[in-house]
Structure 1
Amino acid sequence: MGDLIVEELKKGCGLYRPNYKQNIFSVIPTAMSLLGVEPGRPTLLSNRMVKRCLEEAYCFDVDKVVCIVADSVDVRQLPLFEKLYEAWCLLGEPVLSSVFPTVTSSAIVSIHSGLPPERHGIVGHKVWFQQLGTVVDTLKMASIRAPSMDRLVKSGVDVRVLLLENCLYRMIEGTGVAHVEIMPSSIARTGLSHILGAEDVTVEFENLVDAFSTLRSVLDKYVGRKTLINVYFDLTDAISHKYGPLSEEYRLTAHHVEEVFLHFLKHSGNDDKVAFMFFSDHGQEEVSEEKTVKVSEDEAEVVLQYLRSPPGRSGRVIHFYVKDGKEDDVRRWVEEKVGENGLLMSFDDVCKFFSLKPKGKLRGEVRSRMGDFVLVMNAGAELKFQRKEEKEKLIEEKWRGSHGSMILNELLVPLVAARADILKGLLGLGK
């Protein structure tokens, strides 16, 4: 995998800072540039290595770009997609960095806004929003106190006000370029999707076969017209969480994704006019039972007395909203409970260590969301708040994968980008 594109916070700590010059949030702006649209955001074309990969794969002379976002596919997992992995190796093995934290809420909004989380404002999965006075589950767009899907929207809240900067797609208006989003029906026009600025151009699908059949219909409809098409699916993430990122179940899922995609590609036309950019929002880490820090309700009550609200969570990252004067108490509680399984940082340290650059006047707003202290778990570790009375389940589920932190498995994702005819050749499909 060539040179490492991210830097370790300090030697041997295992946590890395994101690379903003080779990032997932630059993929769609790059696609827009390939179609002749000025995105007003950084693109990957300023990166010589990535630009060369795109040039050699003939991505520049096209009238359609299809961005395929497969949730939770990191560089270590890509070999389970056997043919795509071979193609990636032949295409120069381009790698992208995810963002901090490496969770779907933050990363997907970054992908669609062309900005890192500290700029667009969705800085985690479950984080505090002072406009609403509560911790919000940003995937569901609901308070954690009333967690049903779209509760905020149904209560009349325009959740787009949570964005600190607008998404990308206004730049397409008036250019003549068509724009289509293809999303699972369970996600489209609900929850997080409300703030992506693309509800009017969203098409739903029921499963992966339906997704690529829908993609074929969209390509057929817009023959001869420049078109940006974004396809998102989360099957890979769900399986990785439940069974583990390198499990047999994940391998079977990867095989299914690849089989359906290759079938679609084999029967597609206009090969010299369509470029594909396959990438992911983040990777995933295997969670170790030995490194899982379990917090009882009684133990949680101790730290809650030092906080202004319940802590937020972004997978393997915990957000603490601390009362004035209680900083040392929170530090002591975390150090005693978590020890070497995680690193507790102040907001200023988070910005310094992970090279976050919130805009000056918005720094206070970003801090109010991200937290006064942020706990970043180390490799294999997770913090789990337990409940006293949980109903016994018919089958006990043990979730084996997680993400949110900044180890290499979570941070580095592959980019497979090529014009359709080139990709077919690399995948052994012929012309």
Structure 2
Amino acid sequence: MGSGPDRPGRTAATGPASATGPGTDSGPGGGTGSEAATGPLDAVRPRYGIASLAEVLPAASAVLGLPGADDPMGLAAELAGVRRIAVLLVDGLGWHQLPLAAPYAPTLRDLARGGRELTCGFPSTTPTSLVSLGTGAPPGRHGVLGFRVRVPGTDDVLTHVQWRDEPDPDRWQPLPTALERAAAAGVAVTVVSRPEFAGSGLTRAANAGGRFVGAADLGSLTDGMLAALRDGAGPALVYGYHPDLDRHGHVTGVASTPWRLAVAELDVALARLVDGLPPDAALLITADHGQLNVPAGNRFDLDTETELRAGVALVAGEPRVRYLHVRPGAAADVLATWSAVLGEAALVASRDELVAAGWFGPVPGEHLARIGDVVVACRGTHAVVASREHPVEARLVGYHGSFTAAEMAIPLLVARA
């Protein structure tokens, strides 16, 4: 973990960016904001600065009375009197997955009745979202711009979930975290997550500033979060992370039997958390993204459809959002080829187009090259796999990363003692 908000490589940040994203007719597929979406496959714009994942920890900080904390959702008024907050991020529990979970999760179903619909950022993937939550900033500002991204000036691809020390997390992600700001203001800050994530590059980028408590399973996660809430007499901020639902969605599919069993197990833990809250505490439940199942017939394969490799020097991203770094002078040909092969299955656009439209939020110059020269964002239930380069990934059932409501829309559920 880092040493504080002034450690080398980080610059001051007072809250989420004010940019609200593109207009209603400028995004992928002509989609509108999540508030106007009519179905899980509709395009949804990130609601940066209004109601996105990046607003959750600043709002929690406002509840705890931190000076200057942004709270566009009005959470401080709703949680007046709360001095201890637990934030639980359930990986893969999107807004459109809540109705599928409801028959197996009575506590979750009851909490969802009063829940708010937020969006994650773009791309709708775990590393990007965890750092948006942790910093209170959209992806362009913090620079963790995808599951896999090219390290500028090299031919190396950084897989953020396998990241340790290179590149230096304090420089790759330059913003202080919300946990650092809370700790500097005297709040007791605790991170409860899987032991193997302690000290990882992603943990340092997203959760620096908190005391790390390892929790190997859901029961330990619940115990650790409640213990941290009850410890001490002052204000407290506790962050917990649960990965299992996302894993089952990937491997066996959303709404599969293992996924439903994982929902039921999660619900038991939620009931324990709600019942165990101290009198001056609140629990916030959110997610990093949703998921959708991709049929085998809706997959393009980079390793068999060889025309997709023409002019492409390096491929990053993941199956629902591909970043194509092209050879000099090849951008127009790559755009044309991918548009012709994928047709209506994907939006194929230049990096400059998507940055200008606000899909990443403001992107400083030093972060631009982490995004591909060409961005391929899948529509509907399509994906672009690489069966030889990433064979395990190509065999998954559930995916996320693109701009559909099933992937972008996430919940914010609130429980008080």
Range of TM-score over shorter length: 0.7 to 0.9
Which of the numbers 173, 178, 181 marks the counterpart of 1:171? 181
The change in CA–CA distance for 1:7 and 1:262 in structure 2 (over 3 A counts) is farther
Give 1:389 shift: 12
Whether 2:212 is the aligned partner of 1:202: answer yes
The yes-or-no answer on 1:380 pairing with 2:381 is: yes
Paired residues for 1:52-201 under 5 Å: 55=77, 59-79=79-99, 80-81=101-102, 82-91=105-114, 93-130=115-152, 133-141=155-163, 150=164, 153=165, 157-198=167-208, 201=211
Instruction: Quote how far apart the aligned CAs of 1:230 are.
Output: 0.4
Q: What per-residue deviation string (whole Å, max 9, x for no partner) do you get for residues 54-73 of structure 1?
A: 745xx221110000100011
**CA displacement at 1:130 relative to structure 2:** 1.5
- Matched residue of 1:312: which SS? strand
Supply the AA of the counterpart residue of 1:30: A
Deviation at 1:289, TM superposition (A): 1.6
**TM alignment of 1:164-313, pairs within 5 A:** 164-198=174-208, 201-222=211-232, 224-266=233-275, 268=276, 270-271=278-279, 273-296=280-303, 299-300=305-306, 302-304=307-309, 306-307=311-312, 309-313=313-317
Contact 1:103 1:315 in 2 (8 A): no
Cα deviations by residue, 1:47-94 (Å, 9 ceiling, x for unpaired)? 3xx54xx745xx221110000100011112113143234323542x31
Structure 1 pair 165–214 and aligned structure 2 pair: CA distance change class (3 A): closer
Normalised by the length of structure 1, the TM-score is 0.81
Which residue does the alignment assign to 2:409? 412
Match of 1:399 in 2: 396
SS in 2 for 1:415: strand
Classify the secondary structure of the residue corresponding to 1:258. helix
Distance 2:146 2:112 in 1: 33
1:68–1:410 distance in 2 versus 1, CA, 3 Å? same
Structure-1 residue corresponding to 2:59: 30
What is the identity percentage for the equivalent residue pairs of Structure 1 and Structure 2? Answer: 22
Aligned residues of 2:98 and 2:109 also touching (Cα < 8 A): no
SS of the aligned residue for 1:186 comes to helix
- CA separation of 1:410 and 1:304: change in aligned 2, threshold 3 A: same
> 2:416 & 2:402 partners in 1: Cα distance?
34
1:357 maps onto 2:361 in alignment: yes
Alpha-carbon deviation of 1:407?
Answer: 0.2
List alignment gaps of at least 5 residues for structure 2.
1-22, 33-40
SS of the residue corresponding to residue 296 of structure 2 reads coil
1:18 to 46, 49, 58: 46
Kindly indicate whether the alpha-carbon contact (under 8 Å) linking 2:66 and 2:182 is maintained by their aligned counterparts in 1. Answer: yes
Evaluate the alpha carbon distance shift between residue 291 and residue 194 of structure 1 in structure 2; reply closer, same or farther with a 3 A threshold: same
Letter in 1 for 2:159: D
Q: How many residue pairs end up in the alignment?
A: 380
Runs of 4+ aligned structure 1 residues displaced above 6 Å come to none
Query: What SS class does the counterpart of residue 354 from structure 2 fall into?
Result: helix
TM-score normalised by length of structure 2: 0.84
Q: Give the counterpart of 1:344 among 335, 344, 348.
A: 348
Question: Could you tell me how far apart the structure 1 residues matched to 2:357 and 2:255 are?
Answer: 29
The alpha-carbon distance between structure 1 residues 85 and 269, as it changes in their structure 2 partners (threshold 3 A), is closer
Contact 1:125 1:315 in 2 (8 A): no
SS state of the match for residue 127, structure 1? strand
1:334 to 338, 345, 351: 338
SS in 1 for 2:177: coil
Cα distance in 1 for residues equivalent to 2:390 and 2:162:
25
Residues of 1 paired with 2:127 and 2:277: CA distance? 34
Give deviations 1:198-231, integer Å, cap 9, x for gaps.
Answer: 2661111110011111122222322x21000001
Secondary structure at the aligned position of 1:115 is classed as coil
| Mapped contact 1:74–1:284 kept (Cα < 8 A) | yes
Q: Distance in 1 between matches of 2:45 and 2:358?
A: 5
- C-alpha displacement at 1:269, in angstroms? 5.4
Given the superposition, is the C-alpha separation of residues 351 and 211 from structure 1 closer, same or farther in structure 2, using an over 3 Å criterion? same
SS at match of 1:192: helix
Amino acid at match of 1:339: G
RMSD of aligned alpha carbons: 2.7
SS across alignment from 1:124: coil
